[in-house]
Structure 1
């Protein structure tokens, strides 16, 4: 696992694994323009890219929370390595679960200082973040999720907003609050329903983003298209007597 030094926003040269992994904050976001990749993060010019502002803000928040390290998917995974990408996709649930805290950055949500008091379905719930496939597990896996608006002002925590989040996503409040222990008791069909209206840029990611939800391991094969979902269906059927997965295509 690669991590950023929160003080310098630079990648730590040492790769961490197992008990060697220090406490870290993790970012959940939707990709935008000029995201900083693993290959670019070491180049000084990366600090002038639009995507670097998000990395810097994540690191600054981590420092405020007493954490020395942060993880951001855009620059902490070498996506040119198929082996590293496969490991990352299959480790993603655990990386989010094991983080000290998760920052859900809603880049398209304007500041709304009265939101928590009114608890209305405001622009918070219109955010693209609630419509993407990968953010499903990023919402469920971490114990602590803090939502930030476009100015990196705190909107609220997952626990504070559990009721409204349940209404907009359909995810059971118990799952949002307890994670894996309760998730194990939820039917395959219900889990799939949470992802049904979410979108992914790549067709294959519609399956890959659910690997952690179903506690499975599956090597990604980009280029396989919709066959990825059929592989996921078969894998689920191998480990579950619940055949409701085949109701989804």
Structure 2
């Protein structure tokens, strides 16, 4: 999935509980495991709140200072880290992951592979599980 987001022309993020840019940082979207790669991988992202309203008029919210500030409040990810997360220390990326929640442990593994630049196919993971 990470590669899809990375190669996308635009990633659209729906923040179901957000009514305005100023309350964006409180949205549960920022606590879910799978959404970390949706935030970091794409070059262009557009955030929509309740009722599919645009939170800004900018074409790329990832480059908008006010959005970057809200992201940092929600995740502790700085604008520099948002721009070049693969250059960020592994321990720092682990801190971001620790703040996320998933329903199944294996979902956390799959949601983090791209963030740590690891290529692990689902088939390999299933085979490894069968061996142990």
TM-score by shorter chain over 0.5: yes
Total equivalences in the alignment = 120
Which residue of structure 2 aligns with residue 127 of structure 1? 27
Tell me the TM-score normalized by structure 2.
Answer: 0.81
Tell me the TM-score normalized by structure 1.
Answer: 0.45
Cα deviation 1:203-228 (Å, max 9, x = unaligned): 11111110000111113346x5xx9x
Matched, 1:165 2:67: no
SS of 1:151 mapped into structure 2: helix
| Distance across 2 between alignment mates of 1:191 and 1:154 | 28
| Distance across 2 between alignment mates of 1:126 and 1:94 | 27
Structure 1 consecutive aligned stretches of length 4 or more whose deviation exceeds 2 Å? 182-185, 219-222
Query: Aligned-pair RMSD on alpha carbons?
Result: 1.8
Q: Say which one has the larger Rg.
A: 1
SS of 2:42 mapped into structure 1: coil
Gaps of 5+ in 1: 1-91, 228-249
Q: How far has the Cα of 1:184 moved from its partner? A: 3.1
- Give matches, 1:145-184, under 5 Å: 145-156=45-56, 157-160=61-64, 161-176=67-82, 178=83, 182-184=84-86
| Distance across 1 between alignment mates of 2:85 and 2:62 | 16
| Distance across 2 between alignment mates of 1:130 and 1:184 | 19
| Distance across 1 between alignment mates of 2:16 and 2:77 | 23
More helix per residue = 2
Matched, 1:218 2:120: yes
Gaps of 5+ in 2: none
Which residue of structure 2 aligns with residue 205 of structure 1? 107
| Larger RCO (CA under 8 A, 6+ residues apart) | 2
